[in-house]
A = this chain, B = another copy of it.
Amino acid sequence: MEEKGKLNEECGLFGICLPEKKDVMHLSYYALYALQHRGQQAAGIAVATDGAIACRKGKGLTNEVFSKEVLENATEGNMAIAHCLYGRQESDAAENAQPLSTSHLEGRMAIAMNGALTNGKILKEALERQGCLFHTSSDCEIVAYQIIRHRLSEPSLEKAIEKAMDELEGAFSILVMSPTELIAARDPFGFRPLVLGTFEGGCIVASETCALDSIGAGFVRDIRPGEILVMKNGKATSYDGHCGKVPKRLCVFEHIYFARPDSFIDGASVQIARQRAGAFLALEHPVQADVVVGVPDSGIEAAMGYAKQSGIPYGIGFIKNKYIGRTFIAPGQRTREDLVRMKLNPVASTVKGKRVVLVDDSIVRGTTSRIIVKLLREAGAKEVHLMSSAPKFLYPCFYGTDISSSDYLIAYNHTDREMEEIIGVDSIGFLSVENVVKLADNGDRGFCTACFDMKYPTKIHAEVKRCRFDLEPGKEDN
Contact = CB atoms under 8 A, between A and B. Distances in A.
Copies of this chain assembled into the complex = 4
Given A71-B329, A128-B105, A272 B349 contact: yes
A341 B213 CA distance: 7
A379 to B, nearest CB: 9
Interface in A287-301: 297, 300-301
Chain A contact-residue range equals 35 or more
B152 A133 contact: no
A186 B68 CA distance: 42
Given A69-B68, A213-B341, A269 B349 contact: yes
A176 B300 CA distance: 42
B148 A29 contact: no
A272 B350 CA distance: 8
A134 interface: yes
Contact of A262 (B141, B264, B328, B348): B348
Query: Which residue, A152, A214, A316, A319, has most C-beta atoms of chain B within 10 A?
Result: A319
Query: Which residue, A314, A322, A347, has most C-beta atoms of chain B within 10 A?
Result: A347
B135 A101 contact: yes
A300 B271 CA distance: 17
A260 interface: yes
A322 B321 contact: no
A130 interface: yes
A342 interface: yes
A397 interface: no
A214 B328 contact: no
Contacts of A342: 30, 33-34, 214-215
Given A29-B331, A68-B329, A316-B304, A345 B133 contact: no
A332 B128 CA distance: 38
A416 interface: no
A199 B350 CA distance: 25
Closest 10 A/B residue pairs (Cβ): A269-B349, A71-B331, A105-B128, A26-B332, A131-B149, A262-B319, A102-B133, A36-B323, A26-B331, A23-B332
Interface of A: 23, 25-27, 29-30, 33-34, 36-37, 54, 61-63, 66-69, 71-72, 74, 91, 95, 100-105, 125, 128-135, 137, 141, 144-145, 148-149, 152, 210, 213-216, 260-262, 264, 269, 271-272, 297, 300-301, 304, 308, 313-314, 316, 318-319, 321-325, 327-329, 331-333, 338, 341-342, 345-350
19 contacts: A23-B332, A27-B332, A33-B321, A34-B342, A63-B325, A63-B329, A68-B329, A72-B331, A131-B145, A131-B149, A132-B133, A133-B144, A213-B345, A214-B321, A215-B341, A215-B342, A261-B319, A262-B347, A304-B314
